[in-house]
Structure 1
Amino acid sequence: MDKIAVVILNWNGVKLLEQFLPSVIQFSEGATIYVADNDSKDNSVEFVQQNFPTIKIVKNTGNHGFAKGYNDALQHIDAEIYALVNSDIEVTENWLKPILETFENEKQTAIIQPKILDFKNKEYFEYAGAAGGFIDKYGFPFCRGRIFETLEKDNGQYNDNSELFWASGACFFIRKNVYHELGGFDESFFAHQEEIDLCWRALNEGHIIKYNYQSLVYHVGGATLQQGNPKKTYLNFRNSLLMLVKNLPKRGLFWVIFFRMVLDGIAGMRFLTQGKIGHTFAILKAHFSFYCVSLKYLGKRKEFQIQQYYMVKSIVFLYYIRKMTLFKEIFNSIQNIKN
């Protein structure tokens, strides 16, 4: 069994593979590198085979998205640690060493995220993960270094190795045994929020999720679905609701979901006033889809859910009403309340 497998999910991404595979090969000494291909119709597989013969190929039978794509591929990969890496990630020298050391020294740590900076603006954190994630009471995600559309400059303010609520799927390290014990990603999510759902389930089982700043990668972001794509809006809003149904503590479950749906409605109206009608319809579609499967998802709930899953009650209120745009401001407000 390999110590660590670096697994890159690909779908019609030959240009990304050409650009970013060299850094993975150069700086991943000791790891076995795989490209898990979601039945690409370009020449991705042939390109890898011809230009990077040391990389192993796992061929999936269709484009099953991020969740099922990884679930299918990882059935064929035997390693103690899975490093799930987006095809638009540039890694840096010694990026694996601090991750492996943490897993070796901290047996309860099951999932780790590195520092993720913006490939296009390398002094700033990147949207999808930054320095590690949290959620508010109503399931809205935010990160150290990124709250909604505000990205912070990396001034070393998150140079610590701290516990998280969720780690970014853009570069996601997980122990093989934990991944399979949890049943992998929820395949009905297709893409977006599936890593938060998996992390929540891991926390419910008593595992620890960490951020390690000593491991650094750069992420392009939006290479598959651009940030302003209505399909991305649909998946994010639908999957957030599904995630809440599965993982919220029983007490207050109905009211949290109800209020979240009200907030979604406000978001839909805001999109409408901005002329983004496609996004408004995407939220409506997300809610309709949620209604159709919500009873099924109640059946996916486990017996135990952690009670204190959120850092703040409403990140929407703090960001849009109180104008707190930096994580430090949010954190300081929490500390002031505690004191």
Structure 2
Amino acid sequence: MSESKPKILTIILNFKTPELTLKSCAAALREMEGLDGEIVVIDNGSEDDSFVMLSHAAEQNGWTQNNRVRVLDSGHNGGFGAGMNFGMQARLSNGSAPDFYYLLNSDAWPDPDAIAKLRDYLIENPKAGLVGSAIRGTDDTPHPTAFRFPSMGGDFEAAAHTGVITRWMKNAVVRLPIPETDTKVDWTAGASLMVRREVIDQTDGFDETFFLYFEETDLCRRAAEAGWSTHYLPESCVVHIGSASTGMKTWSRTPGYWFDSRQHYYTKSKGSGYFVASTLALIAGGLIWRFRRLIQTLPQVDPDWFLTDLTTHLLRSPFRKTAARSPTISVPISEDQT
């Protein structure tokens, strides 16, 4: 870390949501007051009027003075990780690298001192490489964003939705109870996440093979392998609409890139055999839930055709070398896995 006041580069990605992005930028700009750093807004290949709207609004609002805010065009929609990498590679306006990168979703707005508290936590905890905020919805409902790494047991438990199984496999449950104090976690969501520059230097940033989903999980896993821990800080709070760009909450069917990203994560971290076994565990858990629905009045919890699509993807996986990143898929760069 530099001997002078630590510098922060806040990165906000836009994909066809310029109004929300401007609101997010205004909130971030307010919270960056008194902190040393800048904001870079990346239009991630929206192919609409977003870049022009964002650039014009930033100029009209006086945000571009002294390079407080820069609006850049990534040129294509390579996904969440690619967009964030583009922002990090932009560096500060003087060409230097910051001490910390603050990643903020375009549909998220930090509470007072939220950014400063993340920065201070990393300063006070030199072994911490990443720290994320507590997230709540616009209705003040807390969003769980503290997790264990995905696993075969975690997939089975999550798909089964059955209390006795959850109690039996409590140490495999991926979604942790929302911590009330600062807590070391395996990974946390990227809606409001501060990352130490050294983590990015040692991991080369996000793996751009992930188009969307699992990229923060993978980054936290590789950071852990390099000796850096990830933390959840409830004192830093952010309001997050969630899925404003992705439409995840209204999916009628799970898109192919989610299955591709899941395959890439497991294959990369634990091998192709583990990917197959974990997928079979996910199918088995899903069948338990579907059997329960036959004999009880229980809701549908997965998108339509989920098990069919999951099984089809598994059967085709031997012919798929890596997770596909199709440039024809029109999906956004901001995400919410909660």
**Counterpart Cα distance in 2 of 1:174 and 1:232:** 30
**Counterpart Cα distance in 1 of 2:250 and 2:239:** 21
**Counterpart Cα distance in 1 of 2:150 and 2:136:** 23
1:44 aligned partner:
50
Does the 8 Å contact 2:101/2:196 carry over to 1? yes
- CA displacement at 1:43 relative to structure 2: 2.3
**Counterpart Cα distance in 1 of 2:237 and 2:112:** 8
Pairing 1:274-289 to 2, within 5 Å after superposition: 277-284=304-311, 286-288=313-315
Pairing 1:95-244 to 2, within 5 Å after superposition: 95-119=114-138, 121-122=139-140, 124-126=141-143, 129=145, 132-138=146-152, 140=155, 142-145=174-177, 158-225=179-246, 226-229=248-251, 232=254, 234-244=256-266
**Counterpart Cα distance in 1 of 2:282 and 2:233:** 33
- CA displacement at 1:86 relative to structure 2: 0.7
DSSP-derived class of the 2:102 partner: strand
Do residues 259 (structure 1) and 277 (structure 2) align? Answer: yes
Q: Supply the AA of the counterpart residue of 2:29.
A: I
DSSP-derived class of the 1:64 partner: coil
- CA displacement at 1:213 relative to structure 2: 1.3
**Counterpart Cα distance in 2 of 1:15 and 1:28:** 20
- CA displacement at 1:237 relative to structure 2: 3.4
**Counterpart Cα distance in 2 of 1:114 and 1:240:** 24
Counterpart pick for 2:25 among 16, 21, 25? 21
> Residue 277 and residue 212 in structure 1: after superposition, are their counterparts in 2 closer, same or farther (change >3 A)?
closer
**Counterpart Cα distance in 2 of 1:68 and 1:26:** 27
> Residue 44 and residue 178 in structure 1: after superposition, are their counterparts in 2 closer, same or farther (change >3 A)?
same
**Counterpart Cα distance in 2 of 1:247 and 1:79:** 29
**Counterpart Cα distance in 1 of 2:148 and 2:220:** 10
Q: Supply the AA of the counterpart residue of 1:126.
A: H
**Counterpart Cα distance in 1 of 2:40 and 2:24:** 13
Mean CA deviation greater in 224-233 or 178-187: 224-233
2:329 aligned partner:
none
**Counterpart Cα distance in 1 of 2:132 and 2:7:** 17
How high is the TM-score relative to the length of structure 2? 0.72
Instruction: Indicate the structure whose relative CO is greater, using CA pairs within 8 Å and at least 6 residues apart.
Output: 2
> Residue 282 and residue 24 in structure 1: after superposition, are their counterparts in 2 closer, same or farther (change >3 A)?
farther
2:70 aligned partner:
56
> Residue 231 and residue 39 in structure 1: after superposition, are their counterparts in 2 closer, same or farther (change >3 A)?
farther
Identity of aligned residues (%): 20
Q: Supply the AA of the counterpart residue of 2:89.
A: Q
DSSP-derived class of the 2:233 partner: strand
Mean CA deviation greater in 205-214 or 15-24: 15-24
Report how many aligned residue pairs link the two structures: 276
Counterpart pick for 1:89 among 66, 83, 108? 108
1:292 aligned partner:
319
Does the 8 Å contact 1:230/1:279 carry over to 2? no
DSSP-derived class of the 1:142 partner: coil
- Structure 1 residues 264-306: Cα deviation after superposition (integer angstroms, max 9, x where no partner): 3346666898595443454245435643345x69xxxxxxxxx
Counterpart pick for 1:8 among 2, 6, 12? 12
Does the 8 Å contact 2:10/2:39 carry over to 1? yes
**Counterpart Cα distance in 1 of 2:253 and 2:31:** 34
> Residue 85 and residue 260 in structure 1: after superposition, are their counterparts in 2 closer, same or farther (change >3 A)?
same
- CA displacement at 1:230 relative to structure 2: 5.7
> Residue 263 and residue 233 in structure 1: after superposition, are their counterparts in 2 closer, same or farther (change >3 A)?
farther
- Structure 1 residues 146-185: Cα deviation after superposition (integer angstroms, max 9, x where no partner): xxxxxxxxxxx72211101002111221112211321211
**Counterpart Cα distance in 1 of 2:193 and 2:253:** 23
DSSP-derived class of the 1:242 partner: helix
Mean CA deviation greater in 26-35 or 283-292: 283-292
> Residue 223 and residue 291 in structure 1: after superposition, are their counterparts in 2 closer, same or farther (change >3 A)?
farther
